[in-house]
Chain A
Amino acid sequence: MIKKIQKLILLWVAIATVTLSSELQARLNIEITGGVEGGLPVAIVPFAWEGDGKAPEQIGAIVKNDLARSGQFAPLDSDKMVGSPSTGKLIDFSLWRQTGIDNIVVGRIQQQGQDQFVIQFQLFDIHRAVQLSGYSIPTNGALLRQTAHQISDLIYEKLTGVKGAFTTRIIYVMVDSAEQARSYRLAVADSDGFNEQVILSSKEPLMSPSWSPDGKRVAYVSFEAGHSQIFVQRLADGRRDVVANYSGLNSAPSWSPDGKQLALTLSKDGNAEIYILTLESQKLVRVTRSYAIDTEATWNPDGKSIVFTSDRNGKPQLYRVAIVRGAAKGRAQRLTFEGRYNARAAFSPDGKQLAMIHLDQGGYRIAVMELKSGNLQVLTDTTLDESPSFSANGSMIIYATELGGRGVLSAVSSDGRAHQRLQMNEGEVREPAWSPYLQ
């Protein structure tokens, strides 16, 4: 009996020993939690110019600004760079590794003719010293910035797994409020605010520009006829048509995901209500029926619902109504409960989030609500934000705010971490809208 017990003990000890040692011998598994959120450290070496005279554009700088603006990257400052390689062969990886970067972009602009260029760039993993991406893109003087944004898109997608949206465009309204010569201009620019092109000028207010889903047309409100009208204008040739000219208010157009319909706010039946206008047939269907103001409709990217602003409960809040075959189905459901003012909703491209103007103690700020959880996150700390609009990949939100008494455009990453004011010409800028991906 005692022997048995002794044996058992010995056995147990043996097993325990084996277990212990095997535990020690097993592959080390280390749990890593924490870390800091931050941009990806990347070096974008100024692109070498191989041509006559001065480089026509600082391609590296454009790419660097794009990546920085997205909030996903922390580009290395120029003064911290340890060389200026223009091709992969010239990169001293161990040297660059010491700068703390993870990736490096090198490139060069080669002049091919009078206005013809080829931009070559390579993206490297600095740790593994392997090329992740590399392109040679022919371009011309007018498209140089566009090509630079294209490079930004390629790098962004390679490193984040998400399609870049730097080659998309923004539309906005510029206001020159000088006493004697008040004017309104509708302008389209690159996502960084450059390459501004005015597509319409008017002495009367222009409002609420909205991109068609294919990015080829815009709808907007113009008071050029002395009252509000809704126009649809083709960007390619500037042709414009009035699509809504009802008595009273014609405002806040929003394209359906299939591009065939517009959700509008009309007051022809008394007070502001939401309608759906089928562009081809001019057929109009009323969506909301309340004594309150219902406006600022926006389509869910899945086309199955519309979110709008209504003060039917006293204060402006966001509501959602289901849309089946171009008509409302059921009662509108209130979406926002936090704060006494939530308005001007914009869907994220994946339909999971809503950006809005949210009034908190500090003022009117951009907030993002996750529809599934209802969690609201305020992204900005400015006071008079308006008109939020998601970038095509959902990573950023552009909005208008007031700075020094005038309206400016700002961009914020959709997590609220990166803020950047877009460099614009003089004058007040309002109501930006970010285009979808452009072909």
Chain B
Amino acid sequence: MFDRLSERWRRALIGAVAVHLILALFIGVSLSSKPTPNQLAVQPQKEVVQAVAIDEQRILKEMERRSSLEQAKVRKAEASKERLERDAARAKKLRKQEERKMAALKEKRRAELAKKKREKALAEKRAKEARAQEQQRVAKLKEQQKRAEEERLQQLEDARIAAQKAAFEKSLAEEQSRLQQEANRVQQRKLALEKNRYVALIREKVVRNWVKPSGTNPGDSCKVLVHQIPGGDVIDVKVTACSGSVAFRNSVERAVFRASPLPTPATKELFDREIEFTFTP
């Protein structure tokens, strides 16, 4: 990429130089085609040739005229001399002007060249600066990209580590919960066994104490709510639902009272102040 960029720059540079050269040439040509101060100095000699014509009669006149002419001529020569001097002065002045103009032009060209040179140098400097800037920018960009990439990788790494950690913690938690549940299950099985035993003990004692009235209908059923206190002493028996006779109902209440104190459980958790009994003959 850098190569390609520099290639482009080089081409632009060459183009710029070429344009400048062409421009300089053009300016030079237009300067040399301008009229020179020498050509301007010849023009007054052509006017002198036109005043040549002579006649006898006219000699005197002529002579006079000639003398006048001579005089004229002298005046004229003097005028011409004056004029020539004037012209020469003017030409000198012109030349000087021209010279000044040339010098100014030259100065201007030099200045332009210098300016161009300066500009070129400036442009080069700028180009250089731009290149440097570009390089800097690119470098910066590259740096940024590099940093971004590094950051991205870091983030990925962090995320990976975090995920790993989370997964580990999760599995740990799961394992702990599984162990807890297993422990609970064991405890519950134990409790269930104890409960079964407890229930069996109570049942046995109540059945042993249940004296049913004669002629109890096999379809009868009586539910009682028994209130006991720790130690198993029966405090109260309430019949909650009973389909049998009064005698049957009474026998059920009595059975619970007679079984008092009820057996107590091995585990306190199993003890409940209220127990429901369902009596069926």
Contact = CB atoms under 8 A, between A and B. Distances in A.
B278 A31 contact: yes
Contact of A71 (B214, B276, B281): B214
Interface string A12-48: 0100010011001001111111111111110000000
B213 A40 contact: yes
A159 interface: yes
B245 A32 contact: no
A6 B178 CA distance: 12
Contacts of A38: 211-212, 214
Interface of B: 174, 177, 181, 184-185, 188, 191-192, 195, 199, 202-203, 206-207, 210-216, 234, 236, 245-247, 249-255, 257-258, 260, 269-270, 272, 274-281
Given A30-B275, A35-B281, A10 B247 contact: no
B264 to A, nearest CB: 13
A35 B257 contact: no
Contacts of B257: 102, 127-128
B245 A30 contact: no
B60 to A, nearest CB: 146
B216 A37 contact: yes
A162 B246 contact: yes
What band does the interface of chain A fall in when counting residues whose beta carbon is under 8 Å from B?
Answer: 35 or more
Given A24-B191, A31-B203, A40 B275 contact: no
Interface of A: 6, 10, 13, 17, 20-21, 24, 27-41, 71-72, 74, 100, 102, 127-128, 159-162, 413-415, 417-418
Given A24-B195, A24-B270, A30-B278, 19 more contacts: A20-B188, A24-B188, A30-B199, A30-B277, A32-B206, A35-B211, A37-B216, A38-B211, A40-B211, A102-B250, A127-B234, A127-B258, A159-B246, A160-B213, A160-B245, A161-B249, A161-B250, A162-B246, A415-B214
A98 B251 CA distance: 17
B245 A159 contact: no
Given A40-B247, A102-B258, A160-B245, A32 B277 contact: yes
B207 A34 contact: yes
B11 to A, nearest CB: 61
B207 A161 contact: no
A30 B206 contact: yes
A35 B212 contact: yes
B203 A37 contact: no
A219 to B, nearest CB: 31
Given A40-B250, A160-B246, A162-B245, A33 B280 contact: yes
A32 B254 CA distance: 13
B258 A162 contact: no
Nearest to B191: A24
